[in-house]
Amino acid sequence: MGYLYLTVAIIAEVIGTTALNASQGFTRLWPSVITVIGYSIAFYALSLTLRTIPMGIAYAVWAGAGIVLIALAGMLFFNQRPDGPAMLGMGFIVIGVVLVTLVSQTRTHG
C-alpha cells in the first residue's frame, strides 16, 4: 500500500507544481486552487506512505520522480526544453530511483 500512496503523492505534487507555474504567482484563481489542492493531497499521501516506507527512501523516490515528471510537464505544457546536460542529469535521477526502489535492500516497516 505504501507505494500506492507514494504514487498518489507524486502525481498530486506534479499536478500542483504544474498548476503553480500556470498560476503566475497566485494571480490566477483556478491554477492557484489546483496548486493548493494538489499539494494538500501530495503531503497527505506522503504522510500515509511513511507508515510503511522509510522516510529517506520515500522522499528520494518522490523527489526524483517528481523532478523528471515536472520536466516532462514543462515540455508538454510550457514549451520548456531541457538541454543535453539536463537530460543526462535526469537520466541519472531515473537510474537512482530505479536503484532505490528495485535494488536497494533497505527494509520497509509496518
pLDDT at 15: 98
- For residue 110, being part of any structural domain is answered with no
- For residue 108, being part of any structural domain is answered with no
- For residue 17, being part of any structural domain is answered with yes
- For residue 31, being part of any structural domain is answered with yes
pLDDT at 102: 83
pLDDT at 69: 96
Domain that holds residue 43: 2-103
State how far the Cα of 98 lies from the Cα of 68, in Å rounded to an integer: 13
Tell me the DSSP string of 11-77: HHHHHHHHHHHHTTTTTSHHHHHHHHHHHHHHHHHHHHHTTTS-HHHHHHHHHHHHHHHHHHHHHHH
- For residue 30, being part of any structural domain is answered with yes
How confident is the model over 45-72, as pLDDT tens digits?
Answer: 999 999 999 998 999 999 999 999 999 9
pTM comes to 0.88
How confident is the model over 30-45, as pLDDT tens digits?
Answer: 999 999 999 999 999 9
Residue with cell 520497509: 108
The number of folded domains in the chain is 1
pLDDT at 104: 75
